[in-house]
Amino acid sequence: MGLPNWLTVLRILLIPVFVSLLVYRRPGTALAVFCLASLTDLLDGYVARRGGSQSRLGAFLDPMADKLLLTASFVTLTYLRALPFWITAVVISRDVILVLGAVLIHMTGGVIAPAPTRAGKLSTFFQILTVLVAMLTPYLQARPVLRVTIWITAAFTVFSGLQYITRGMGFLNAPPAVEREHEDPLLR
């Protein structure tokens, strides 16, 4: 297991620390831990691409770590009333639908290439930004900024979800030869 995967594991291990700090009202330290976890996300991808050490494990762990961190963040911030319930429902619903779609494709014998789209990356960026703004709002009195950020996040989350569903339908409807064409080279 190379450095990129260790960075991803570190991000996963930081999640309960981050949530505990938020729940026990240590927002400054929680913010620092969230920033550190987000930094590991940037670093693991950079190190993997730069060092040519991309792996099947990393292709699975990295997005899982992102989803775990963001889901824990949204749920905890909603519990603490820093975020409205509806945005958390949008973020989590999209991810649940995508996981169910991937399972369906797998169960029907299809093969998917889990390459993120530009909209998916922007969705993740705005989700992270929403968490950061929500954590900073009590200090900066940034309620209007938070509202705008939440709506932008919702728009990108819904759009990217629809985009992934459309791609998934293509995988479900593709003949076997086309599926092999779209296979992730790491899975061969």
C-alpha dist (Å) from residue 1 to 9, 28, 125, 150: 10, 32, 27, 37
Q: State whether residue 94 is helix, strand or coil.
A: helix
The pLDDT tens digits for 24-77 are: 999 899 999 999 998 887 887 777 677 666 666 666 777 788 889 999 999 999
> The domain spanning residue 113 has which CATH number?
1.20.120.1760
Q: Note the pLDDT tens digit of each residue in 155-183.
A: 999 999 998 888 877 777 766 644 445 55
Confidence at residue 176, expressed as pLDDT on a 0 to 100 scale: 60
CA distance 66 to 119: 15
Q: How many domains does the chain have?
A: 1
Q: What is the mean pLDDT of residues 89-109?
A: 86
Count CB neighbours of 10 within 10 A: 15
Residues in the chain: 188
Residue 5, pLDDT score: 78
pLDDT over 50 (residue 2)? yes
Q: Other C-beta atoms within 10 Å of 101: how many?
A: 19
| pTM for the structure as a whole | 0.83
Element (H, E) at 119: helix 118-140
CA geometry: angle 106, 110, 111, nearest 5 deg: 90
Average pLDDT over every residue of 137-159? 91
Range of the domain at 50: 3-187
Tell me the average pLDDT of the chain: 84
